Amino acid sequence: MKVKTPRQETAKKTKAQRVVFLLDVDNTLLDNDRVAADLRRHLKQEVGPACERQYWTIFEQLRAELGYADYLGALQRYRIEHVHDHNLLAISSYLVNYPFANRLYPNSLDVVERCGEWGTPVILSDGDVVFQPRKVERSGLFEAVEGHVLIYIHKEHELDAVERRYPADHYVLVDDKLRILTAVKQAWGPRVTTVFPRQGHYAVDPAILSAFPAADISLDRVGDLLAYDLHELVSAGQNHSDNHLKKMAPVGGRLPRRANAR
């Protein structure tokens, strides 16, 4: 009779757990910086450099008000000041019909598929109620996760809702924002493994990198997640000590409330 090693026994136990993978979209599975760059070029072509700059000024103002990027909302607000600019219809069509599937990072769909072999992959994103779902659908991510999509205004404040919708013994959160990873780690502690793909402008901002502690796992690209097995992913989160959690930078000036702390 062949005796299983302790690692094999632990791996078997890990697979028996309910594991939910919470996957961000922008600059995590999809290169949103390239989407924005394409939009900049299109705006300059359709409305000119001055109006293109005005659009982004409105975009940033609206993001400060809402807490998330709202491309179509910024276009609506821009329209108020340019009522007779018929090029706006072309810009709206460009956004709604953008080929998001072409902007998925290499191996993104392979990562989603692997997560589906280990547990339940769920898209967990911030965004508006029209454009962000459209992006998830046209990119192919909606189909890849079999419709398991959650889109909030501030997802780090909705962890109770996430747990009710997708209860699990362990969560794996993959996100390009250390602020988000830190908030969720503070709330869930060893019940979550935070994974930080260093992609996009937030992930390389020195001020952000110095303001928050390292995630449980850091990757050069999201496709590198394929090099891990389930046991390694779960263990990385569970082995984080309480002392490390205490050193984490407060989010919004205070430690967030634990969601269903256990």
Does the pLDDT value for residue 8 go beyond 50?
A: no
**DSSP 8-state symbol, 24:** -
pLDDT band of residue 245 (cuts 50, 70, 90) is low
Does the pLDDT value for residue 203 go beyond 50?
A: yes
How far is it, in rounded angstroms, from Cα 238 to Cα 244?
12
pLDDT average, residue stretch 236-255: 55
- Which pLDDT does position 67 carry in this prediction? 85
pLDDT band of residue 139 (cuts 50, 70, 90) is very high
Does the pLDDT value for residue 4 go beyond 70?
A: no
- Which pLDDT does position 257 carry in this prediction? 36
How far is it, in rounded angstroms, from Cα 201 to Cα 25?
14
How far is it, in rounded angstroms, from Cα 220 to Cα 208?
17
Does the pLDDT value for residue 96 go beyond 50?
A: yes
How far is it, in rounded angstroms, from Cα 154 to Cα 142?
20
pLDDT average, residue stretch 244-257: 44
Q: What is the pLDDT of residues 21-71, one digit of tens each?
A: 999 999 999 999 999 999 999 999 888 999 899 999 999 999 899 888 899
Buried b (16+ CB within 10 A) or exposed e, 39-78: beebbeebbeeebbebbeebbeebeeeeebbbbbbbbeeb
pLDDT average, residue stretch 130-158: 96
Q: Are 156 and 126 in contact (CB under 8 A)?
A: no
List the strands of the sheet with 19-23, edge to edge: 149-152, 120-126, 19-23, 170-174, 192-197, 217-219
How far is it, in rounded angstroms, from Cα 112 to Cα 183?
23
Q: What is the reported pTM?
A: 0.83
Amino acid occupying residue 228: Y
Does the pLDDT value for residue 16 go beyond 90?
A: no
Which of 159-163, 197-201, 255-259 is modeled with the greatest confidence? 159-163
**Who's near 82: CB < 8 A, 6+ residues apart?**
47, 51, 88
Domains of the chain from N-terminus onward: 6-31+104-246 (3.40.50.1000), 33-100 (1.10.286.50)
Does the pLDDT value for residue 15 go beyond 60?
A: no
pLDDT band of residue 258 (cuts 50, 70, 90) is very low
- Which pLDDT does position 89 carry in this prediction? 83
pLDDT average, residue stretch 249-253: 42
Does the pLDDT value for residue 250 go beyond 60?
A: no
- Could you tell me which of 165, 144, 199, 170 has the C-alpha nearest to residue 262? 170
Look over the chain and give the mean of its residue pLDDT values, rounded to a whole number.
86
Q: Are 182 and 249 in contact (CB under 8 A)?
A: yes
pLDDT average, residue stretch 215-240: 94
